[in-house]
Amino acid sequence: MYSTNYNQVILVDTNDNEIGVMEKLEAHEKGLLHRAFSIFVFNENKELLLQRRALNKYHSAGLWTNTCCSHQAPGETNLIAGNRRLKEEMGMSCELMPVFHFVYKADLENNLTEYELDHVMIGFSNSQPIINTEEVCDYKWITIEDLIYDLKEHPEHYTVWFNLIFEQHLHQLNTIIEHESLQTRNF
């Protein structure tokens, strides 16, 4: 059974070993490494579903990012957390597949530091989201080509972790998307 305290994050070492839990805002204030996840949902046209973070978010408000991102609750697996937040933020569900993880550290506004071991997962769906306006203020489907262009022209419109994923891991994402049999998926 996992915790229902979704305001806590799981502190980890660089090998993803759990070393404790802490209130989410405190972990960001202290810049401590914690577990997180980022979900990328693609449709049958290989377009990526982006969300624009709500304007009331305590960091990265109003920026575009991947389909869904958040933190695992103590005792919660990556897939359970991913499915929970995808439903809570975007009002949708699909089968998620873990693809890789990476560590990044970045200074944010409000004297916060994002220091995360981020588990990246992908899913496939043609469903249109029903956004939770407390979390998301807009969404769009975009081709990878158009996204790469926009990231180069306007990186400031996107979250730091989203920029890093595309800068450092685009090849991995493209390989996975190309090898998935999109035609046999149940969209």
**Average pLDDT of adjacent 10-residue blocks, the chain of 187 residues:** 69 97 96 97 94 93 96 96 97 95 91 95 95 97 95 95 87 73 50
In a domain, 184, yes or no: no
Please say whether the beta carbons of 120 and 36 come within 8 A: no
Query: Any idea what the CATH number is for the domain that residue 89 is in?
Result: 3.90.79.10
CA distance 14 to 33: 8
CA dihedral 9, 12, 16, 17 (to 10 degrees): -110
CA 155 to chain centre: 17
In a domain, 2, yes or no: no
Element (H, E) at 147: helix 144-153
In a domain, 3, yes or no: no
In a domain, 28, yes or no: yes
pLDDT, residue 173, reads: 77
Catalytic: 116? yes
Which structural domain, as residue segments, surrounds residue 65?
Answer: 8-178
- Choice among 76, 89, 114, 116 that is catalytic: 116
Q: Taken in order 44, 45, 48, 49, is the CA torsion positive or negative?
A: negative
In a domain, 1, yes or no: no
In a domain, 187, yes or no: no
Structure tokens at 93: 């569900």
- Choice among 69, 76, 94, 114 that is catalytic: 69
| Number of domains forming the structure of the chain | 1
pLDDT, residue 89, reads: 96
pLDDT, residue 75, reads: 92
In a domain, 161, yes or no: yes
Catalytic: 153? no
CA 93 to chain centre: 15
